[in-house]
Amino acid sequence: EKPSKPERMEAPVDTMLKDMATVIFSTFLLAGWVAFVITYPKEFQRQMEEKLELLQRQQLVFQPPADLSPDADYLDVARARTESSNNSSPSLTPRASNHSDLSVPELGSPTAEQDDTGEEESNIVRVGNISFNPKNVLGHGAEGTIVYRGQFDNRAVAVKRILPECFSFADREVQLLRESDEHPNVIRYFCTEKDRQFQYIAIELCAATLQEYVEQKGFDRHGLEPVKLLQQTMSGLAHLHSLSIVHRDLKPHNILVSMPNAHGRVRAMISDFGLCKKLAVGRHSFSRRSGVPGTEGWIAPEVLSEDSKDNPTCAVDIFSAGCVFYYVVSQGSHPFGKSLQRQANILLGACSLDLLHTDRHEDIVATDLILQMLSMEPQKRPSAESVLKHPFFWSLEKQLQFFQDVSDRIEKEPLDGPIVRQLERGGRAVVKGDWREHITVPLQTDLRKFRSYKGGSKHHYRELPEEVQESLGSIPDEFVSYFTSRFPHLLHHTYKAMHSCAHERPFLPYYHYTGTPVQTLPSPAEPQKSDLPEEPQQGDPPTDPQKANLPKEPQKGDPPTDPHEADRAKEPHQGDLPKDLEE
């Protein structure tokens, strides 16, 4: 019995050895499968590159005739589409990388320069009046759209190649381009061609997008300042809205910077009309079912909100433009945060303009405009024409002219009149309490003097002492900046207060008013007897016209004639705007 025990124990040992062998074999199989999975795509890519190289060599041996029909060029276009979809840059395509491997005898040209020219010509795709090289890719759009650098009528253009499933969008885009491209701030349309595979649209070639303008360091702006760029963008948008065209996809990528003209100047242009909507005659809104609503992060809240009862209007473009405005003035930030949270924040109205300072004149004016454009209520957003009239776009000369017109308007206004009361409401905060503490000493000294100004003159600057003129600076730039830098809310406050005068003719350049302007000057009437000077009576002293205009000598008991003394005698009310500052 004892010898039989070891024989029974051999069976488990054999089983363990077999299991270990099975595990080892399975591990080798698994490792081999993993290695195959890793190496197969590389091998497949290598085989594809060899096939592409073979096709290229066959094409170079047999040069197609120059007048080849558009349909026969499909092979080049299709191959370029495959290459561009697999590579982010056209310079990294297999054909470009394999070009240097071809020998001179194979190319049949004596020099490398002729080789480049020959291959360049063989790659050209010609469709009607449009020609382009599929390797010269400028960018990619939605739904498989590719934009190439090409030629039309010996002019450099951008060529959009559109897939068949998007032909209906392309036809609509072409129609809208034809209607709207007569404006300098709307992309120019040249022609459209079609073959059995694609549709091609030739449009104006531009230097860069707004995104590159803002984010690319060292970008040559050719003197196009950010405020001017935004003004041109709004001018183009106002043109579209005047034609009842809603863009619906306004964003930095769809605002382009033109190529420099003969004088080296560039301009901003609105492009990409693929999602545009032409409103029917008499209609001011469109259905939410009118196709793709736009690009996420730039879509107005009413387009996606389920609680909105009214159909979207042109105001959706104003909202998107407000996002673009902040993107430009903040040098790349978005008012609704990072890309992943933007659309959710838009629906919640969670807007932040933190990068704009509350004590800087330019930022205060910009904040006022952008907040209006980003209003959650579409009817409260300004029209494109109203945006263009906002002080955000005013030159320093126009700001000075506005202050002069306001001064003339309130000169004869009673102190308890509605306009004066509106100006004085909150005025104490505008001038930071005691405004005299914030101006320079020469101006303080001069304001204490009594000076008689001509009532009909707006320009008293020349009458100031030389020391005061040097303190205020030159007109208009330094003069306006003197006050707006010390009182940054002054222009914004005055503009809001005078809005009730928007219908008056002198204020039409500053406000968008569509009604009939009102003439504020009194109509000439026959003078009343009380208005005429009295006839001199016998015994009266002769009157010298010059002496008659001089102020009377103060008599004992008369009130002080110095207006500043009169102001000091009167206790100022809360919110009063000092009369000296108004002058």
With contact defined as beta carbons under 8 Å apart, do 384 and 318 qualify?
Answer: yes
Q: Which residue type occupies 564?
A: H
Question: In whole angstroms, what is the distance from residue 256 CA to residue 268 CA?
Answer: 6
Contact between 323 and 348 (Cβ < 8 Å):
no
In what helix (H) or strand (E) does residue 30 lie, and over which residues does it extend?
helix 4-61
8 A C-beta contact, residue 106 and residue 57 = yes
Distances from the Cα of 520 to the Cα of 155, 422, 501, 504, angstroms? 54, 19, 10, 6
> Would you say 311 and 286 are in contact if contact means Cβ atoms under 8 Å apart?
yes
Catalytic residue (choose from 249, 317, 405, 576): 249
Is the separation of the CB atoms in 83 and 95 below 8 Å? yes
**Cβ proximity of 221 and 213 under 8 Å:** yes
First to last CA, the chain: 128
Integer Cα distance of 105 and 53 in angstroms? 16
Q: Longest Cα pair distance anywhere in the chain, in angstroms?
A: 169
CA-nearest of 399, 356, 396 to 374 is 356
Catalytic residue check, 115: no
| Element spanning 193, H or E | strand 189-194
Strand positions, DSSP E, 105-154:
125-127, 130-140, 146-152
Residue among 487, 501, 504, 465 nearest 578 (CA): 487
Strand 130-140: give its sheet, edge to edge. Answer: 125-127, 130-140, 146-152, 155-162, 199-204, 189-194
Distance of CA 417 to the CA centre of its chain: 40
Pairing, β 277-278 against β 255-258: unpaired
The alpha-carbon radius of gyration of the chain (Å, integer) is 37
Q: Which residues pair with 518 in a beta bridge?
A: 504
Residues labelled as active-site residues: 249
